[in-house]
Amino acid sequence: METKITHIAVVTIPAFSHQASIVEFCKRLVHFHHNFHVTCIFTTIDSPPQATITFLQSLPPNIDYIFLPPINKQDLPKDVPLAVQIQHAVSKSLLSFHHALKSLCSSNNPLVALISDPFANETLEIAKEFNLLPYIYFPPSAMTLSLFLHLPTLHEEVSCEYKDHKGAIHIPGCLPIHGNDLPEHLDDRSSLSYELFLERSKRFSLAYGFLVNSFSAIEGERVSTLVEIGNKPVYLVGPVIQTGAIIEPKESDCMMWLENQTPKSVLYVSFGSGGTLSEEQVNELAFGLESSGQKFLWVFRAPNVSANALYLGASNDDPLQFLPDGFLERTKGQGLVVANWAPQTQILSHKSIGGFLTHCGWNSTLESIVLGVPMITWPLFAEQKMNAVLLTKGLKVALRPKFNDNGTAERKEIAEVIKELMLGEEGNEISQRIEELKYAAVAALKEDGSSTRALSQFISDIENFLRQQV
């Protein structure tokens, strides 16, 4: 008897970190459940990034993909945050998304469910039109999902700006958090960013359930609270991280450099797939790395006044020209600076790496946990400050430097935090704790692990729903 194939679609946004996470989730889904076929639908701005095209070349045969007609970046609002531009791009893509969904639903193997990125959850309204079971795949933490689900209530409970709220803000199931550590979209309640964030949060009620890129050892206690807030099933299916190398590690200069370093001696410094620092902060970080005396591998981009300026397009500038005069010569035996990009998972898994100075993007955070690398948190935007709170106050696997009133971490502070992580007693305790989480992450992904069971429960819930419809 021929096995019936269950066809689902996923839709994501024009941001590589979100695309990589949801595609890796799909790969894991079809690996454990061979009767599922997935079609990934990508909204795009200008054209698909080369990183995405390369990443998609290694898909298994039961995953297809569609690029919707690109939205011209010139047609998006100017001088607004990146998240607002992405939201407008998704809105402008809804008509072509509708056509794509209609085509897939009328195929020989019609769709039964749609899984949406949280920043594309307008598509869930279209899913209802085609009687598709609607889900949200949530790439960040369960703590951040708590914020999304609770925000409509928080909006009513707190009348002032969150950063001006006296004391900590309490979000159900979360660590107490100060308003300054909420996503920057919430900084100004009169802004378009806030309005869109609030609207998006209210649309979470359209979802039948939530698939979250986290695992029980770090956030399992939040699930029951999340279910109570949203009155929907929550599946912790992570850690979902990028596993495929875009280039062969042996071809990378930085991997060859790491081969010549002693175990756990190198601090890896990277701000994700597009994060940038101001020119002043670049100088302070450079001098802090140098004066720490510790080995470092720094993935360096040209400075920019906007922390996420490069997520929708690369700079043509040679970044190394923006380093302080003489820095490369003075640190030649101490560190290596790599322009723009490096194979992160291969670097973090190398025996020479002893620490990770990170922007706290959730993909990078999970990679560091899975590979057992202690962290220095340097959040830039989005929910990254919340992640920093979770890592430092909750899980206690990271240190966080202090920033002055101008929002700059000074060189002396940077050097001291680096030395504490790499050489200090607190750094040693952090190393022990993150080693325990590393093994917990591996256990969660085993065939009988908590995340694999959660994925199976998600599949069972879909199949039970379909049986009830017959």
Point out the residues that are catalytic.
18, 117
Tell me the C-alpha distance between 271 and 239, whole Å: 20
Q: Please name the residue ranges forming H helices in 250-326.
A: 253-259, 279-292
Q: Is 236 helix (H, G, I), strand (E, B) or coil?
A: strand
Q: Is 105 helix (H, G, I), strand (E, B) or coil?
A: helix
Report which secondary-structure segment, H or E, holds 90.
helix 82-92
**How many residues make up the chain in this entry?**
470
CA distances from 191 to 160, 184, 198, 232, 237 (A): 14, 11, 11, 30, 34
* Angle at the Cα of 47 from the Cα atoms of 42 and 49, rounded to 5 degrees: 75
Number of CB atoms found within 10 A of residue 31's CB: 12
Residue type, 27: K
CA-based R_g, the chain, Å: 22
Peptide bond into 48 cis (omega under 30): no
Q: Is 415 helix (H, G, I), strand (E, B) or coil?
A: helix
Outline where DSSP puts E strands in 340-383.
353-358, 375-377
Outline where DSSP puts E strands in 294-334.
295-300
Q: Would the CA dihedral through 293, 294, 298, 304 be positive or negative?
A: negative
Q: List the structure tokens of 203.
A: 């649309």
Phi, psi (degrees; rounded to nearest 5) at 141: -80, 165
Give the distance from CA 278 to its chain's centroid.
22
CB 186 within 8 A of CB 144: no
* Per-residue 3-state assignment (H helix, E strand, C coil) for 275-292: CCCCHHHHHHHHHHHHHH
CA distances from 299 to 51, 65, 256, 401 (A): 17, 31, 15, 19
Outline where DSSP puts E strands in 45-201.
63-67, 111-116, 133-138
Tell me the C-alpha distance between 285 and 414, whole Å: 7
